[in-house]
Structure 1
Amino acid sequence: MSAGWIVALILFALVGWLISLNRRLRADLRREKLHVLEFQRELSAAIAELSDVKTRRKRLLAASTQALIIVENDHRVSSANKVAKQLFGSLDKKTTTFIEWTREHQLLELVDMVLANQKTPPLYFSHHDKFLEAHARSIKERGMVTAVALAIHDVTELQRLGRARRDFVANISHELRTPLASIQLLIETLLNKEVLDDRKIRLEIIDKISTQVEALGQLAQELLDLSLIESGKMPLKLASYSLRDIVEEQLKRLLPQAERKNITLTLQVDPEINVLADQTMVGRVLSNLLHNAIKFTDRGEVIISAEKCHTVDLTHNAADLNETWVKVGVSDTGVGIPPDQLARIFERFYKLDRARKQSGTGLGLAIARHIVEAHGGRIWAEINKTSGVTFYFSLPVED
């Protein structure tokens, strides 16, 4: 075979090999393109999913009523919602560390415990005028803790309610213990043979026992009434009534009590004023205010007044702002109320120092407040310029 043919065969084989190689390369290229396209699809899906996760997280952070914070393992804050910023202030994520932002070392210790993969109970702490509860959870990547998610809840109101419940139990225990101790002592005295033989003393003791039993009955009734009013299970029977008639009924009932102390009861209520109210419930409010005014006034005068008003301050209901209201006042010339105690006098069982030695459950004003607010009105007290105090409450006028 000549050299020419050999060269031709080599060239032919080389061309064939190049063609085959080209085909394989093109096939490999197509496969790589498919792989790239698949990777791009997966990457796009991952980016979309990540974006969706971020969007959902942002929505979750924005919608939450809790302060939500994510702290990285280098103590940088990578995310904080609006509630958290309202709690701790504005945040510069690039330069501000968690402790610089919150200034709460207890929270930092909680974060460090979670970063160290330790179990953490809820943390309770005070921040300014709030009482807060913090929960912390770890955020892991490939089994390693990389960040901490904090959820902080304002439990100030829950703490107040818990304290109110404890105070309620303590107060009710005291209010029950006092008459029960008196009854026990009186019964022991009554069992004495000499007392049993003396009819006059025996009747006096029985009368005192009856008084203490009445006090217990009054306490039980007021507790029941307060519970029913607060739960809305004592509906108002609203109708149009003359305010003066309601006041006069209570004045007649309490006149003997005022006369025994030489206290003048003055009525300054226009007979033309009609109110849309529950007559029995409003009578109860007036009875309580008049009874207190007489009890804490040694001499002088108690004035009951009323005037029609158009004012935002007389109602809690924004829908009632255009209505006409009547402001009822019960003013006395007694010992008055210390200014720092005005805000608390409508609390259950709260008693002023002046009232500690007086009989009473400490529930009357709390019941009065609930009754007035059930009518849509307000009740408050103001210190008189000369002496004594004036209690005001508002009711809707029935024209």
Structure 2
Amino acid sequence: MNEEDKTKEQLITELVELRKRIAEIEKSETQRNQTEEALREAEARYRGIFENAVEGIFQTTPDGYFLAINPALARMLGYGSPEELMAEVTDARQFFIDPNRRQEFIRLIQTNGIVIGFENQVRRKDGSTIWVSENVHALRDPRGRLVGYEGMAIDITESKRVERELLAEKEKLDSILKGIGAGLSLLDSEARLVWANDILQRWFGPIEELKGKLCHELYDLADPQKECSAFCTLRTGQIERGESFAEIIGGERRYFQLTTAPVKDDKGNIIQIVELTQDITERKQADEALLESEKRYRSLFEDSPISLWEEDFSDIKKYIDSLRASGVKDFRTYFNNHPEDVTNCAGMVKVINVNKATLELYKAKSKEELLVNLKKVFSDGSDEAFREELIVIAEGKPKFEIEAINQTLMSEKKHITLRWSMAPDYEASWSKVVVSVTDLTERMRAEEALRESEIKFRSITQSATDAIISADSDDNIISWNKSAQTIFDYTEEEALGKSLIMIIPERYRDAHKKGLERVNSTGETRIIGKTVELVGMRKDGSEFPLELSLSTWKTGKRRLYSAVIRDITKSKQANEKLKQTLTELGRSNKDLEQFAYAASHDLQEPLRTVSNFSQLLAKRYKGELDAKADQFIGFIVDGATRMQEMIENLLAYSRVSTRAKPFELTDCETVFDQALINVKMAIGESDALVTHDPLPTVMADASQMVQLFQNLLSNAIKFRKEKPRITVSAAQKGNEWLFSVKDNGIGIAPEFMEHIFKMFQREHASAEYPGTGVGLIICKKIVERHGGRIWVESQTGKGSTFYFTIPLRKGERERT
């Protein structure tokens, strides 16, 4: 009992004692003065407690009318003062909201004369409700007659709220523990077991026997201090994992994965450890089988531990296409009504290959023996499975899974899971379909449990930046994370228990309801496991684009759904802006290219006139004028000549786009030979030696490839310090061809490297090395048109190597 309770009990005791003393004083007139003084003292003490108590205190008549109320009770019920409350309310019982609770209170007080800890809801002045706990007892005179009631009321609204939240958390935890599908245990700070769920007890025994045991007492650990994840967690204070064999009840040895996480107090000390135990025996066996397979260098198909079939469904596709052309739309109804067509289609399937696991599964000595006995393998019950397979194929679904009964060549029944998928790049012809067949063993159960566990953990995460929402089969929201609140503006309290349609625009709600009904009744899904773009609706009714990834799972007969939702408003706007920018940029580039071509072409004629007449002046009047005049005329002739070269090069640059040809198979050997012919005179004059490695065949514009090689060879010959030595080579690097042109020329200064591929940029004067500085920019434009890159590596005085790439494209072949 705390101090406040002691004070309340002392108050009630003193009041009873006071009344006894008053009764005694009334019998003796001579003691009246003494009695009055004692009464004043007691009342003063009582009044101080009454007025200053934090609990509500009241007195009523036997009929429930208030006689006294302290300030705490008035505040609790929403009134400014006791006087205001007593003026507006006379019967204390009218505060009860539930009439049944009011009758129960009256019955208890009348029967027992006292009520302790009576909880009920009451209505405050403003109409709001609160929870209170009341302690009330009857007041009687010395003759035992009832004169009223006295009691206290405590506001327990907050504790009730906390109690509800704790109950909800407990129910949620209980649900997780029941459906977790793995062993869960609690260890103390010494790693001794103190609690275990039902699954762990089924493996290792009842909790009474497990309490106090250490990890190495359950699992096969050679060095517990190093191998026990619980001991590791105690050392590191972090989540740790480990694996080990263990013998479970019944003597079977299973392989387990253990994950331990610390539970710490406010000071960071580990007070408990949570341990998750998962049976991964089948997964471990599969891993070991795969490792063994890799050690023996078996191929993925031939040596797979799973039965694999490679089949040709092209004839079935033709048949289904003909049915569709004849007007068949509902293939489920059609094949249900035409079982003979199902049988005929089964005969159209061509088995191309099977692996060793298939022969073992069906007890066949060879592929030939299996293929000639397929009718025995696929018993009468297989028709139903094949009919479902046909329906899935006809509906255009790329994958299919079903359980069925097969038979081995030794007449043994096999309950199998068949998975069917179209091989990539064969969707149009159906000429290659991969079918896997597995037994429904403990491995399947273990994988299903693991998959369910992973889905649950992903669904309940609250740390994701995307909205994660879970709902049941009735479309009611059961989980709503913080990002969902941010995106849709509904709080978790507003969303839980509500229908998903509140975040779906009204025009899409009917389709949503029909889809949900279809999945719940048939299991048929269209967007499960895919990422789709939809439209969502916020609390204020505004709509926005979103990206949805939906998953589903079943717990018993109950189907649940989880959705990962991302608001893609900004990315949509950015993509739209990017499209507009690219369109405008393409239009601008095209206009610029046309302008450059037109301008260059139109400048040719007046420039030619200037050049011709300046040359005529130089020829006719040379020596007749003074020396300066001859020099000026020479400047005009040189300038016109250089301008004409620049315009011609500018035209050549624009023709890379304006006169481009479609890409076709181009033999680079032939292209390179033509480039050599074009620079034959320069090679002869410089006594250059040009060699090349074998060059490939690529998809390219042949004329532009000639120009590319010609420009690079011309550069290598022009910028020389000695007899030129030029080597051209090519090598395939991933999905592209890498070409190189290496020379022993003068090289490129480091400060000029960044300008080398810019228009009219030259490192040397034209008098020293003729040219306009356009050749390399043309090379760059040709390479970029082909989807490649071009760059140079060089050192001054040590030569240069120009590199460029041409991507591989369909139809190319390597030339050796």
TM over 0.5: no
Which is richer in helix? 1
| Larger RCO of the pair (alpha carbons < 8 Å, separation 6+) | 1
User: Larger Rg: 1 or 2?
Assistant: 2
- TM-score normalized by the length of structure 2: 0.24
- TM-score normalized by the length of structure 1: 0.44
